[in-house]
Structure 1
């Protein structure tokens, strides 16, 4: 019997009464020997039960789906092994609801990676298990397909425009053509009564798509103020889509109430004309873009496109140039353009000012698209602007520094250097953050007693303050030349997460739980604790080591470059 092994499955023991169980084994190897073993049998604890359930838990996929290719609803079990119960939470409930219902992203958004967290409970014991799955975007649309998607290739149809509500074609628009400053114009005016009837059937969140196949320099979707208000109440979205450009705008971002205040509250909303416009730049504007490109030493990849939203009543015109959330513009990359030679999108103002705007390049069904997200309207271009700094060649932040430099978010210190390990000032941090988010610089009087209108950083600080990202100190100062601490920077980034929508995707988790791995967590100021925890939870900033957060330490230039890159990536903006 020497060397024999006896295995007793715990499932067997779990079926036995509490107390002891005597098991008798008979071995025969020439001689017959009998061995009696007495096992002290105890009932499985709740902690053991949830651990067992965690090990056995899996997600069931519909036929043909996998963890990297989800197209149908998921089967998420609500009971597990050993009598456990399971509840689920999703990091993006728009794409995957807590019950496993899947809503595939539009062509514009591209594939989405979602984290599902299962909370397994029995009695007083709880454990969690996470799964990461990728939901595939809907296929590239042809005419009449998925609303809100990027533009399909030019059609040979003679139709001037087609109206879709949630992807279904409707007879709810009238087309007209004309001229403006030697440019051809196609306008699609929406019929209020017909659209209202369709929206009533579709419910909340409907997508109105205006597909325009006419080859015009300027394409306009025209709604009246009452249509906009009705769409706003239903959280509806309007998309203007041409052969190579799409502009997707939630009705709430038009803010018809603010327009009504400026036009006059006595004016009926249906008498206010709201126009959403995609236009090729005029010859004069195109020249400005070309000059900026030459001066900035970057290359234009696609022709620039101008986006406008304006409301008119009589002689009064109100332009909507600023939004409270990021608005997407999708531009098709021409055939023959190397997608590896696309750096980012830029906004070019009439005065020649150029700024980075967060941009993704996505391949969908064999065609590349640049998806530009911005909180303002302007003229946009897609550019190639490679940049490397010689002193980060062997630095841990090399990729982030060169990426942010190429996107015009950060600048070097001269002679091709970046000086990555130098501490950064509060003014420099505010400037880089504003550039990274693609915010248009605000002008006006200073909000802080120690920031002068003539200071190089004044506009960036005013912009960050206007968007609620910075507050300054209680004495009314900003202290722009002070070095910024890690906890100060993280608190500001946490506010930026609300602007980008990333904050809404975080799972509920206490600051104490998030910061528990760090031995110096207690050093985080109470005023910054929640913001620091949110930034750590989102994966934007990590500790100086696995166990050290260093909240009072100063932020380096390399750390800032990496943090801004992570903020934009985790927010789905680049």
Structure 2
């Protein structure tokens, strides 16, 4: 494993190669995007990679897959575990989102949504665009939440993203205004007030199914979206929970909610599946992303959990973009956790980062035990936390997982999300140390759930695994191992060994989770 900081000299590079060949630790590659913003015709951010490149570029594509520009000025910035290259490209037309391809390794894509205050979209083709940009992409919503169906329908006909600016805390969206656009993945509503912003892609709304569950038709169905301050009781409970963790609250506690309404205000929750929708919370100050996280507050248990979140701190803006596939009360907290037995460890920064994100816990308040092996149940719990999933209780999944086990709920969540499966004898073997092969499979399935898994052809799989002389020891996870390598998360222990049967430590697992979250753009 490479150390956190080193100078780019040939002497030190050779030294690191010798050390990496001698130490039996997992090696992790890293390539991806961070701090990417698309706003007011400009896309900017950073590419990181553990491969140094003198020709770093970022290719920019519109939602239809047409290449519209190249950020050829991507420049080397800093080395800290990985090389970072800053890029910026201006003069772009206004699209709902852009897709970026990094050209350090040429294999990592990233989708960035338009966060302009008024996002008009004419798809007039290429570069700086041309032709008239339709007006009317912002609609003011009165304090009672009422919204005219025809006004919204006409706005959606001319714009991919329509902003609904709320005077109050809610909007009541006539489903009949949306029915013509729910099959178009470019169409979205940007719902905003002084407490936050909710980006709602229309394709997540299964209007016919929702109407059926409400016992009505689409014409009589309403989509209710609310962005409101949490109650005093819940806000106080959240503050108390943060204090118990050694943290402080750094934002207002905001309740984001999404539901379908039928006649007589009958309500139906909207299942988002694995679609991670973005919600933005304004912050009153700049925070350090490595010592802060967005959290979800559960009023029933009065506990806080990690939520995938990316912080944007600029001269004019301090905000956090929260990504989750369910709705609840969210806030930002700041922490500064460390463990005595991890000081000076190669994985110290990753351990402390994820501890501050509430993804990993210490064995005690001061001990992490970084070199201890990690079990299948323990790693399943970490992956479930990293994805911000709710636990699932009450199911019978494996004959060696009982509802009384501490890991029952996380195993249920991981099974539901198709992240884990058991052995042929219907066991999960929760206390068995996890192998690299099993760990790679869980991570790749988590990437798939988050919509960030790379596609690997059979030829590419053979190429990726062919350089490892022990690849024939992979029992069943050849595809998953290849995809983990392609994603830049797993690499060989040496140049020609992958060691699929070796067991992972807590430090190595923390590092892999950090790479997973960064690859999925769930942290920065």
Match in the other structure for 1:296: 245
Offset of residue 536 of structure 1: 0.9
Offset of residue 464 of structure 1: 0.4
Match in the other structure for 2:84: none
Distance change >3 Å, CA 134–CA 510, structure 1 → 2? closer
Match in the other structure for 1:472: 422
Q: Does 1:240 align with 2:170?
A: no
Among 347, 350, 353, the residue aligned to 1:397? 347
Match in the other structure for 1:63: none
- Supply the distance in 2 between the matched residues of 1:302 and 1:263 (Cα, whole angstroms): 36
Offset of residue 377 of structure 1: 0.5
Q: Does 1:200 align with 2:154?
A: no
Paired residue secondary structure (1:325): coil
Match in the other structure for 1:28: none
Match in the other structure for 2:267: 317
State the number of aligned residues. 438
Offset of residue 557 of structure 1: 0.8
Distance change >3 Å, CA 418–CA 111, structure 1 → 2? farther
Among 191, 211, 214, the residue aligned to 2:148? 191
Q: TM-score, normalised by structure 2?
A: 0.75
Distance change >3 Å, CA 341–CA 521, structure 1 → 2? closer
| Larger relative contact order (Cα-Cα within 8 Å, sequence gap ≥ 6) | 2
Match in the other structure for 2:479: 530
Match in the other structure for 1:428: 378
- Supply the distance in 2 between the matched residues of 1:341 and 1:514 (Cα, whole angstroms): 33
Contact 2:137 2:162 in 1 (8 A): no
Among 201, 205, 220, the residue aligned to 1:250? 201
Among 501, 511, 515, the residue aligned to 1:566? 515
Q: Does 1:382 align with 2:332?
A: yes
Contact 2:306 2:358 in 1 (8 A): yes
Paired residue secondary structure (2:355): helix
Among 84, 90, 115, the residue aligned to 2:102? 115
Match in the other structure for 2:26: none
Offset of residue 398 of structure 1: 1.3
Distance change >3 Å, CA 135–CA 238, structure 1 → 2? closer
Distance change >3 Å, CA 557–CA 109, structure 1 → 2? farther
Distance change >3 Å, CA 440–CA 90, structure 1 → 2? same
Distance change >3 Å, CA 193–CA 135, structure 1 → 2? closer
Q: Does 1:444 align with 2:431?
A: no
Tell me the alpha carbon deviations over residues 339-373 of structure 1, each in whole angstroms, 9 at most, x when there is no partner.
46851100001111321011111134532211111
Contact 2:62 2:68 in 1 (8 A): no
Among 469, 490, 501, the residue aligned to 1:519? 469
Q: TM-score, normalised by structure 1?
A: 0.69
Q: Does 1:221 align with 2:175?
A: no
Gaps spanning 5+ residues in structure 1: where? 1-69, 73-88, 118-128, 148-165, 178-185
Q: Does 1:306 align with 2:255?
A: yes
Contact 1:110 1:364 in 2 (8 A): no
Paired residue secondary structure (2:281): strand
Among 499, 503, 517, the residue aligned to 1:550? 499
